[in-house]
Amino acid sequence: MQYRIRLFSFLILLISLLCIPIASCSFAPPAPQPWFNQALELADHDFPPGVDFFVMREGSNECYLDSISVTNTSITPIFFPAISSWARPTALEELDEPCPDNNLCMKVVSNQAWKWDIINIEEAPPWDYDWVLGHRFGESEDLEISIFGRSVGSSPYVILLKEFQNEFDYGDGRPESVDLPPPQEFDLPYIYDDEELSVRVTISYSINECYSKDRSIDPFENIAICFVSIILVVVIAFPLIINSILKRIGRNAKSRIQRDEMEGT
């Protein structure tokens, strides 16, 4: 009975020690924060029948990044070309798995958004590709196009690259006083009924009031904490394991000696 109690206590201690490196090594740094808010405005545009582009705002009035949502209720698809996948600067013909119809990798049709993507992602490569829902785990009626860094696109594809003026960091780069960049314009291309079209988009900047220098992180410090935690667990747990094994061996040997003595008498 005492042995079982000691074993249970040892397991609880070991599990508690294992939680230390798990907690420290699984630390995920916060996402980079923008210096400026990004407000988008669409120019007047004669959209095809059933097609609509509108601006979506994520965040509050103090901190936000606008995106563009595309809907299409018609049976004629609206396509978006990709110049690269996962923001790699590859040419159209160099995409890992070229999309059909000349690399038109995203489409919205009949009130449904689709992307050319992996269909057996749980398996090991090589994967198979086909049209999949634009949002695997949610509503897919619209295609969301966002601006991040220097790219305009919808994950995993980039539609175009441009030298946008926003900056992103973890809270250690924006000066106390910073000048607002001037508004910028770009043309968002799309294809409808084999016709190449585009809509003019204006992006305006304002100060991100939610920017915080307290979020500054040191990834190397986190790595160091992770390794120190692992070493600490090894240093503490290894002697305990060895001691437990030796005690168990000693008890077994003592039991065998007592059993032999009883058989000898």
- How much of the chain exceeds pLDDT 70, in percent? 62
Closest CA to 61 of 208, 169, 224, 232: 208
Averaged pLDDT, 109-118: 91
H or E element that contains 32: none
C-alpha dihedral sign at 200, 164, 151, 112 = negative
Strands (E), the chain: 33-34, 36-42, 51-59, 64-72, 78-81, 84-85, 104-109, 112-118, 129-133, 143-148, 151-154, 157-161, 168-169, 184-192, 195-207
Q: What is the Cα–Cα distance from 243 to 95, expressed in whole angstroms?
A: 57
**Strand pairing class (195-207; 36-42):** antiparallel
- Find tokens 């508690």 and name the residue: 16
Separation of first and last alpha carbons in the chain: 28
Q: According to the model, what pLDDT value does residue 250 have?
A: 63
In the predicted model, is pLDDT for residue 16 greater than 50? yes
Residues 121-154, buried b or exposed e (16+ Cβ, 10 A)? eeeeeeeebebeebeeeeebbbbebbbbeebbbb
Distance of CA 88 to the CA centre of its chain: 16
| Bridge partners for 184 per DSSP | 203
Supply the pTM of this predicted model: 0.68
pLDDT tens figures, 23-72 = 555 555 677 899 999 999 999 999 999 999 999 998 888 899 999 999 99
Distances in whole angstroms, Cα of residue 145 to Cα of each of 57, 65, 100, 156: 12, 11, 20, 11
- Find tokens 């509050």 and name the residue: 60
Residues 6+ apart with CB under 8 A from 237: 14, 17
Confidence of residue 106 (pLDDT cuts 50, 70, 90): very high
Secondary structure class of 226 (helix, strand, coil): helix
Average pLDDT score, the chain = 78
Q: What is the Cα–Cα distance from 198 to 191, expressed in whole angstroms?
A: 8
